[in-house]
């Protein structure tokens, strides 16, 4: 299985965003150099999810970026996304690998649990996501992840994605602790100038 080069800013979409808002923010982000995007929509509107995922997949291909679908392996396959991201209770990771193939990017939420990370690796994960690193407005009840967990996870040899309350003001310490990529949502989608926020993140990426 090829190593996945997940690094830098990793943007999650705003749950429930309409097509206009989705396009406005995502296309700005891709224009500013974003390379990793995750489509996150928890609604049961299958038609909207398929339409929006298809749009995002095309925009990402045009920008030489990677689209992952949150928690929906079938949708990822339908729109030919780069892969999928799965939480602990969102589907079988090994089954996702079998369905999407050896080259798909499959991310696994590991929260603050190194044993969960080990299981994800055995099941075929491409990268490991840990968090919340800080208090998160998106998931206020998310379990907290100490920075030391990121450092310990470096020993697994897979890319590490950190998530949860990360902003340009605190991202530096997360990178120092061992993250390869920073997953964000609110600080970009709620910004008056999303591009400036993205550029601030880009400026602090490890070289």
Which element (helix H / strand E) includes 160? strand 160-163
Domains of the chain: 8-203 (3.20.20.70)
Contact assessment for residue 200 and residue 190, using Cβ atoms and an 8 Å cutoff: no
In DSSP terms, which residues pair with 181 in a beta bridge? 8, 161
CA 111, chain centre distance (Å): 13
Weakest mean pLDDT among 4-18, 28-42, 116-130, 136-150? 136-150
pLDDT (0 to 100) of residue 3: 60
Choose, from 77, 139, 199, 200, the residue flagged as catalytic.
139
Choose, from 7, 35, 40, 49, the residue flagged as catalytic.
40
Structure tokens at 54: 């298809």
Average pLDDT over residues 54-63: 98
Residue 144 bears catalytic tag: no
**Largest Cα span, the chain:** 42
For residue 25, give Cα distances in angstroms to 38, 60, 197: 13, 13, 12
Residue 139 bears catalytic tag: yes
Per-residue pLDDT tens over the stretch 183-193: 999 999 999 99
Burial 116-131 (b: 16+ CB within 10 A, else e): bbeebbebbbbbbbbb
Question: CA-based angle 12:16:19, to the nearest 5?
Answer: 90
Q: How many angstroms separate the CA atoms of 138 and 190, rounded?
A: 11
pLDDT band at 125 (very low <50, low <70, confident <90, very high): very high
pLDDT (0 to 100) of residue 30: 97
Choose, from 7, 35, 97, 109, the residue flagged as catalytic.
109
Contact assessment for residue 131 and residue 150, using Cβ atoms and an 8 Å cutoff: no
pLDDT (0 to 100) of residue 117: 97
β-strands 66-70, 127-130: how paired?
unpaired
């Amino acid at each position: 299985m090829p190593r996945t080069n997940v690094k830098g800013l990793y943007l999650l979409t705003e749950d429930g965003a309409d097509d206009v808002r989705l396009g406005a923010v995502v296309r700005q982000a891709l224009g500013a150099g974003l390379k990793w995007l995750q489509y996150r929509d928890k609604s049961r509107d299958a038609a909207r999810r398929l339409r929006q995922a298809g749009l995002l997949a095309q925009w990402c291909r045009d920008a030489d970026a990677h689209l992952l679908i949150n928690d929906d392996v079938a949708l990822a396959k339908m729109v030919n996304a780069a892969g999928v991201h799965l939480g602990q209770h969102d589907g079988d990771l090994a089954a996702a690998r079998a369905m999407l193939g050896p080259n798909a990017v499959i991310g696994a939420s590991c929260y603050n649990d190194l044993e969960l990370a080990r299981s994800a690796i055995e099941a075929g994960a491409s990268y490991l996501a840990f968090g919340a690193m800080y208090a998160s407005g998106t998931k206020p009840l998310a379990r907290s992840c100490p920075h030391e967990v990121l450092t310990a996870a470096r020993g697994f040899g897979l890319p590490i994605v950190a998530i949860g309350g990360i902003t340009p003001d605190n991202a530096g310490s997360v990178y120092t602790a061992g993250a390869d990529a920073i997953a964000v949502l609110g600080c970009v989608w709620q910004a008056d100038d999303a591009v400036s926020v993205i550029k601030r993140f880009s400026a602090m990426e490890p070289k």
